Amino acid sequence: MRAIVRDSYGPAGGLSLRAVDRPPIGENDVLVRVRAAAVDPGVWIFMTGRPLAVRLATGLRRPRVAGLGRDLAGVVAEVGAGVTGLRPGDEVYGTCKTGSLAEYAVAPQQRLAPKPANLTFEQAAAVPVSGVTALQSLRVAGVSAGHRVMIIGAGGGIGTFAVQLARASGAAVTGVCSGSKAELVRSLGAGHVIDYTRQEITGGGERYDVVIDTAGNRPLSTLRRTVVERGTIALVGGGHARGRWLGGFQRQMAAPVLSLLGAARVRGVTAREGRRSLEELTPLLESGAVTPVLGATYPLGDAAAAIRELEQGHPTGKIVVTVG
Ligand SMILES: NC(=O)c1ccc[n+]([C@@H]2O[C@H](COP(=O)([O-])OP(=O)(O)OC[C@H]3O[C@@H](n4cnc5c(N)ncnc54)[C@H](OP(=O)(O)O)[C@@H]3O)[C@@H](O)[C@H]2O)c1
């Protein structure tokens, strides 16, 4: 099969499309013929091995897995002996463990769900990491009907799902994004948009019940000034390019302590991808309450370009890779 692989940690220039063996499956694994994949800042982290703490899981000196990419949508090709509920030929979406920027990828069965019937493979591949993170961020923050919610990074991978999910739960949404994405963010359900390149989020003096920060590049003191007394700040983004060891994730880890130091509740989000969250999203996707926003689409051979676009830090919605 053809797959995007690398021999060491480093920039996108170190990626190449090569012929490699199909990955073997374990008892509870599923081999998926990948039709589409997507990239997210986590892919950049696994590619570069930065922040360094990630190497404890992915290999200290060089990556244990040569492949790259987590999100996928495709067709089940083979199942392990312990797999129940999925059969060859089923269309699925979810996350894998061998690299989804490849013609075949291996996923544990509990990380796959049947693909929403109305979505293309490209649309479905956009959902797993970012859609699930958005869903769990809203849950961690306790978003409910009538809440005033500000979503920072509203035009990005997680943000475009978060705006739609918050709106679907009956919240009044303010999206924070650069001006070129304002119309998009409004169309997703934000009643109000702040173009942060013209006005800082504290500029209007508004206070929100919940602030969901996917951009991760503002001081907590700024975020605190935007929430009501006992409002909630959900820290999602760590600012993936910052911090040699922890890349900014130390703030999420410290959230319980930060919560004690001021009036706002501070919650660190650590999303767990899995079938149950995907199955919660599926009816919302099938009803049209949530529609994946695809920014750019690249062929498999141009996966490095997809990651380069991502690392600029300003993608619109999800960047998808068509595998075919
Ligand atoms: N906690 C978790 O479990 C978890 C899970 C997955 C990902 N993450 C992290 O969450 C973060 C966001 O992920 P993502 O997939 O949404 O990234 P993304 O697709 O790259 O989107 C980031 C968005 O932030 C916007 N942005 C950049 N600077 C901004 C600023 N100063 N103010 C407001 N918006 C700004 C960008 O566009 P514009 O500037 O054009 O508006 C872009 O649309 C990353 O750090 C990622 O590592 C966390």
CATH H superfamily, domain 129-268: NAD(P)-binding Rossmann-like Domain (3.40.50.720)
Give per-residue pLDDT as tens, 79-102: 999 999 999 999 999 999 999 999
User: What is this structure's pTM?
Assistant: 0.97
pLDDT tens readout for residues 206-252: 999 999 999 999 999 999 999 999 999 999 997 644 666 666 677 87
> CA dist 187 to 157, 211, 236, 293, 295, Å?
15, 20, 23, 11, 15
Spans of all domains in the chain: 2-127+293-322, 129-268
pLDDT for residue 246: 67
Same fold, 2-127+293-322 and 129-268: no
Asked if residues 64 and 263 have their Cβ atoms less than 8 Å apart, the reply is: no
Distance 50 CA to ligand 1 centre (A): 16
> What confidence category does residue 257 fall into, taking pLDDT thresholds of 50, 70 and 90?
confident
Query: Does ligand 1 have an atom closer than 6 angstroms to the CB of 14?
Result: no
Q: Which of 70, 133, 309 to mutate to test the pocket of ligand 1 (most atoms within 8 A of CB)?
A: 133
Residue 162 predicted with pLDDT over 70: yes
The CATH classification number of 2-127+293-322 equals: 3.90.180.10
Backbone CA torsion sign across 24, 43, 4, 299: positive
Q: What is the pLDDT of residue 240?
A: 47
Mean pLDDT computed over 3-26? 97
The partner residues of 5 in beta bridges, in order of sequence, read 16, 67
178 lines ligand 1 (CB under 6 A): yes
Are the C-beta atoms of residues 100 and 40 closer than 8 Å to each other?
no
* Region at 34 (left for phi over 0; alpha for psi -120 to 50; beta for the rest): beta
